[in-house]
Amino acid sequence: MASDVFRKKPTSPIFKVLHVVFVLIGALAAIVAAFSGDTRVWINIVIALVIIGLGALLFAKRSKGEHPKGVVIVHGGLAVTCYLLLAYFTLFNHA
């Protein structure tokens, strides 16, 4: 999806669906971990709120035909960071 923004091309609907699936999986994993007592995961939830805000901004800009590369970079970078933190907290469960 990011490469579509950089190439100023529309994104395939299947990638949009896959994006939503990964978002839901990550959100569910973070919520389950947080309510299971791992308070470290709350940082993921805070980062996710920022990612969601950036995603909404990105959607609005793309709907207007804009290609905000900076928003894509920050949105993607935070998403990767969020998943890496979640993986770390899951693999090294010593909360």
The model's pTM:
0.82
Helices (H), the chain: 2-6, 13-35, 42-63, 69-91
Instruction: Give tens-digit pLDDT for 36-87.
Output: 888 888 898 899 999 999 999 999 999 999 999 999 999 999 999 998 998 8
Instruction: Give tens-digit pLDDT for 71-85.
Output: 999 999 999 999 899
| Distance, CA of 4 to chain centre | 17
